[in-house]
Chain A
């Protein structure tokens, strides 16, 4: 009889396995719910002061066209005639010819304001978030162009594919009710 007690019966094995799986499932469900709750409270954003304009935002996003786009802080902008975010380093003329533009997609519009000032506007439909203009502005200008995750596009993955590959650790979770990190003055809503 003693020997029988030590034996693992099929019933015991199946019962134990079901109890074990139930516990794992319950734990997993709780974890999922907790992480979902956290995800709805926070969203991904780029800290523009950490960003090094490496170009990875353009093609590391799970979306076909990245949720990251260039944005412009107009109150920081110098409205320069020679904008280093718009022009290649040595343009043959300061005009809107394609060969003089830094952006390969022509995603920045240059508009004359008054001599010698020009306004620069990001054409969001064309911008893929490569950050080439941001690097030009940051390196040689005053840094009024910067990258941000646009929340009309971002699907808020739990594990952001860009954040995982960001070499500057510039991606972070921010409160969903304050989803952007602005340079310069915050725009009035």
Chain B
């Protein structure tokens, strides 16, 4: 009996071991990583689209400034090449080497900014404009454009202030006291990226992102020039809405930044493609993603500015840095 009892126990142990082994094998087989088998026709490989011909890259990165902002939203320079970055509830001011000089605390979340020749800082909040002096004091808060407005760009010269409203799909022109003088639009704005810049000759350049154009207007709203080609190729702009931002170099050439395939390029003053400053390889692939959950700021695309010596400053909202590029020839 003793022998049969020990045989029974041994049998039970062996049986349980077999059941456990089979269960483990089945479980492993069922949880093996099952990739899709639907075939290449159903897979969208965008990696090929993000490769840049290295021969076209004519700029090099020489410096990177940590903004120490959680949500950097806009970049601008002043006549002394100081660098201004808006984000969170502040504006950070750096010297041209990237050393922090000062910080202006704001009461709201800024979307964009510009610095006029007189040093006044124009800050675009969601639906209104605020003006600060160099001491950081607010000297004006303009009337709201209404709750259904989204200011995405601002610029100012000695006589006028220009405000881009992405939801209203129009550009508003004000005198320096905040009296509206004119309105230009309607532009085609599929998502909230709508930039403008005033050239040295006084023409107001506005991105019309739907048709991928940069358009130049007189102050009375007449379009004088336009350029821009729809293409995923390096010479064109692609996606729903590009370029997302631009700046005008001291010699009149254009610097453009795109989302989707994040890249920064230089065009001649007549809109002919010249070179790449930084291709998609230079940016993390999440740049340009529109995140409606981010209630404080929806802009995750690149912003660009230039300084008086032609350096190109890229605000990278994912790295939260200002990246400074100069020509390879320098």
Give A residues with C-beta under 8 Å from B: 7-8, 13, 49, 53-56, 58-60, 76-84, 89-90, 102, 104, 116, 128, 130, 132, 135-136, 138-143, 164-165, 183-184
Closest A residue to B1 by CB, please name it: A7
Give B residues with C-beta under 8 Å from A: 1, 5, 8, 31, 33-38, 41-44, 46, 49, 188-191, 210-211, 230-233, 238-241, 260-261, 289-293
Contact of A141 with B38 at beta-carbon distance under 8 Å, contacts A7-B1, A8-B5, A116-B211 already known: no
Contact of A80 with B36 at beta-carbon distance under 8 Å, contacts A8-B5, A104-B41, A140-B260 already known: no
Check A140 against B292 for contact (C-beta < 8 Å). Answer: no
Check A132 against B43 for contact (C-beta < 8 Å). Answer: yes
Q: How far is the CB of B282 from chain A (nearest CB, A)?
A: 17
Closest 10 CB pairs of A and B: A78-B190, A140-B239, A140-B260, A142-B191, A130-B42, A141-B240, A55-B36, A104-B41, A135-B44, A89-B232
Q: Which residues of A contact B36 (CB under 8 A)?
A: 54-56, 58-60
Q: Which residues of B contact A116 (CB under 8 A)?
A: 188, 210-211
Q: How far is the CB of A13 from chain B (nearest CB, A)?
A: 8
Q: How far is the CB of B267 from chain A (nearest CB, A)?
A: 20
Q: Which residues of A contact B33 (CB under 8 A)?
A: 165
Check A143 against B190 for contact (C-beta < 8 Å). Answer: no
Contact check: which of B35, B44, B241 meets A102 at CB < 8 Å?
B44
Name the prevailing secondary structure of the B interface residues: loop
| A97 to B43 Cα, complex, angstroms | 20
| A82 to B210 Cα, complex, angstroms | 8
Closest B residue to A159 by CB, please name it: B30
Q: How far is the CB of A157 from chain B (nearest CB, A)?
A: 13
Q: Which residues of A contact B44 (CB under 8 A)?
A: 53, 102, 132, 135-136, 139
Check A79 against B190 for contact (C-beta < 8 Å). Answer: yes
Q: Which residues of A contact B239 (CB under 8 A)?
A: 84, 139-141
Closest B residue to A83 by CB, please name it: B240
Contact check: which of A84, A130, A139 meets B38 at CB < 8 Å?
A130
Contact check: which of B38, B232, B290 meets A90 at CB < 8 Å?
B232
Check B43 against A78 for contact (C-beta < 8 Å). Answer: no
Check A56 against B5 for contact (C-beta < 8 Å). Answer: no
Check B190 against A80 for contact (C-beta < 8 Å). Answer: yes
Q: How far is the CB of B259 from chain A (nearest CB, A)?
A: 8
Q: Which residues of B contact A81 (CB under 8 A)?
A: 210-211
| A79 to B169 Cα, complex, angstroms | 14
| A132 to B35 Cα, complex, angstroms | 16
Check B42 against A55 for contact (C-beta < 8 Å). Answer: yes
Q: How far is the CB of B168 from chain A (nearest CB, A)?
A: 15
Contact check: which of A56, A82, A135, A142 meets B46 at CB < 8 Å?
A135
Check A84 against B46 for contact (C-beta < 8 Å). Answer: no
Closest A residue to B50 by CB, please name it: A139
Closest B residue to A133 by CB, please name it: B44
Q: Which residues of A contact B241 (CB under 8 A)?
A: 78, 141-142
Q: Which residues of A contact B191 (CB under 8 A)?
A: 78, 141-142
Q: Which residues of B contact A142 (CB under 8 A)?
A: 190-191, 240-241, 290
Write 8 A-B pairs (CB below 8 A) sorted by A numbering: A49-B293, A78-B210, A81-B211, A90-B231, A90-B232, A143-B289, A143-B292, A165-B34
Closest B residue to A84 by CB, please name it: B239
Q: Which residues of B contact A104 (CB under 8 A)?
A: 41-42
| A49 to B37 Cα, complex, angstroms | 24
| A17 to B240 Cα, complex, angstroms | 69
Contact of A139 with B260 at beta-carbon distance under 8 Å, contacts A90-B232, A183-B292 already known: yes
Check A59 against B240 for contact (C-beta < 8 Å). Answer: no
